Chain A
Amino acid sequence: MIEIKGITKYFGKNPVVEDVTVTIQPKMITSFIGPNGAGKSTLLSMVSRLLDSDTGEVLLDKGNVKKMKSDAFAKRVAILRQSNHLNVRLTVRELVSFGRYPYSKGRLNSEDEKFVDQALEYMNLTDIQDKYLDELSGGQKQRAFISMVIAQDTEYILLDEPLNNLDMKHSVQIMKILRKLVDELGKTVVIVLHDINFASVYSDRIVALKDGRVVKDGLTNEIINTDALREIYDMDIPVQEQDGCRICVFFNSHS
């Protein structure tokens, strides 16, 4: 379980994240949603130690993450940021193999190779494993990065807008894989999402942020309704039910 306790981050004099307290429940998909500049990515960066918080603390199973050793932490929590401009020429397999770095420091044993094979298969990359990353399409590249994070075999997987720049087909594909990771492998996934309908259909819990503060935190059904959404987005959004999924029809909403 990850507990975020009273965390605050200033960029200059402005607080981007202010006194946020959230608990990430294990074996669930938790989505961070909210308008632009709400502090979602910053919050995720602090949970994954990429950024230091100014006040407050993040606890991983009651232990402060700042006090953990970096390779021990890398075996438990993996993060993928949204902009992954790699100007390194690696093949897909090489990239995914580096997901095993926290365990093997680059010298892979047979067990590591097994994890790499599985991760490639999970993301349907086995056929293109020897291609260089710069020969891939955006969707394939994103799948390769996620595959690396899977090979890292952590309990917690944090993804910052993994659907960025992906078309509908690939977005659905990736969300389904994340669902499988939680349901079949018992992982805990935290994602920053812009599309509330993806959040609605695929997540178990939703944390809504606005101006650096948590405005809503609860089960998906408690958040995806017109009243709660108005508080988050300042828009009147009708919610319709379709095959058991709640869909927000926000395209012609009044604000």
Chain B
Amino acid sequence: MIAAIILSCISLFVGAIDIKPSDLLDWDSDKTQIFLISRVPRLMAIILAGAGMSIAGLIMQSVSRNKFVSPTTAGTLDAAKLGIIISMLFFTNVTYFQQIIFSFAFALVGTLIFMQLLDRIKFKDVIFVPLIGIMYGNILSAISTFLGYEAEILQNVQAFFMGSFTLIVSGRYELLYVAVPAIILAYIYANKFTVAGMGEDFAKNLGLSYKMVLNLGLVLVAIISTTVVLTVGIIPFLGLIVPNIVSLYMGDNLRKTIPHTIMLGMVFLLACDILSRLVVYPYEIPVNLTVAVFGSAIFLVMLFRGKAYAKK
């Protein structure tokens, strides 16, 4: 919590143009304008995306009962991306709203298909399941690339989905606020997700309608993923590692872990973003690169150390 506040302050005052807190006293100055139009939205976007992706991962791990399933490793993000590309290609005058709907529908259906796959396969090894998810995601991604290539918008597409907060200014990120009610809903239904995570038999024994909770979870994941992909782009690993770290020290009772997952997600993404801005200062590298570097390293540690832990 404290770390989140400190990093938020740092984030507000790091950038190509040097802004000091004292500059803000002058309300009409350029620096104040930059602060309000660029820095504050950027901070909000990071906080919302970090919290959102972490919660999306937590929900997916709970309902799929697999520690290594997340929007990145279940094709959710790739499906959302495919939805956006298709909407761009087939409707020439596509509005923002249509993009959202398409992306959401694809993310939802894409994740549902993965869950169906998961239901059918007999060999439910903890490592095997996310591998299937990654392959499945790559297939979706390949379709996106092919469509983009055919329509000669490949470069646009790649730039569009590069997870980055560089282009976040006020007016371009407000969609992310849709993730807020989704996160609140996740907290309200936390107990249901925990029970569902114990498995269908347990859930039924306790009188919980398992299918309903599963579907609710997937809808929430699709909402969060869509808003993040559309505004920020694809941020890998976040939904995978943050919930797992929290689970290690707090267990899996979602009512307890959700606040911590939100905090850690924010802190992790804030730290990565600040680092991205400082490494080649005054330029910056895309945040998804930084997240991927740290995320994949942590993920590898989790794999080696944690196969026993995830299996239990």
Contact = CB atoms under 8 A, between A and B. Distances in A.
Interface of A: 48-50, 69-75, 78-81, 84-91, 94, 98-99, 101-102, 105-107, 132-134, 149, 152
Contacts of A69: 207
Interface of B: 62, 65-67, 126, 190-192, 194-195, 197-199, 201-202, 204-209, 247, 251-253, 255, 309-312
Contacts, number: 82
Contacts of B207: 69-75, 101-102
Contact of B247 (A84, A89, A105): A89
B212 to A, nearest CB: 10
A101 B208 contact: yes
B191 A87 contact: no
Contact of A78 (B191, B199, B205, B208): B205
Nearest to A158: B205
Contact of A98 (B195, B251, B310, B311): B195
Given A87-B311, A88-B252, A105-B191, A74 B206 contact: yes
Nearest to A69: B207
16 contacts: A48-B205, A50-B201, A71-B207, A73-B207, A78-B205, A79-B201, A85-B199, A86-B198, A86-B199, A87-B65, A87-B312, A88-B198, A89-B252, A101-B195, A106-B190, A132-B251
A69 B207 CA distance: 8
Contacts of A149: 205
Contact of B253 (A50, A90, A102): A90
Contact of A134 (B126, B201, B209, B312): B312
Contacts of B202: 84, 86
A89 to B, nearest CB: 4
A153 to B, nearest CB: 12
- Select the residue from A78, A88, A107 with max chain B CB neighbours within 10 A: A88
- Select the residue from A86, A87, A132, A133 with max chain B CB neighbours within 10 A: A87
B252 A90 contact: yes
Nearest to B247: A89
A101 B304 CA distance: 36
B75 to A, nearest CB: 21
Contacts of A107: 191
Contacts of B209: 70
B194 A88 contact: yes
Q: Which 5 A-B pairs have the closest CB atoms?
A: A74-B207, A106-B191, A71-B207, A89-B251, A134-B312
B206 A81 contact: no
B251 A94 contact: yes
B206 A101 contact: yes
A127 to B, nearest CB: 19
Given A94-B253, A98-B198, A105-B191, A87 B206 contact: no
A49 B194 CA distance: 21
A101 B191 contact: yes
B241 to A, nearest CB: 16
Contacts of B190: 106
A48 B202 CA distance: 11
Nearest to A81: B201
A98 B201 contact: no
Contacts of B67: 87
- Select the residue from B67, B197, B206 with max chain A CB neighbours within 10 A: B206
Contacts of A79: 201, 205
Nearest to A48: B205
Given A86-B198, A106-B191, A98 B65 contact: no
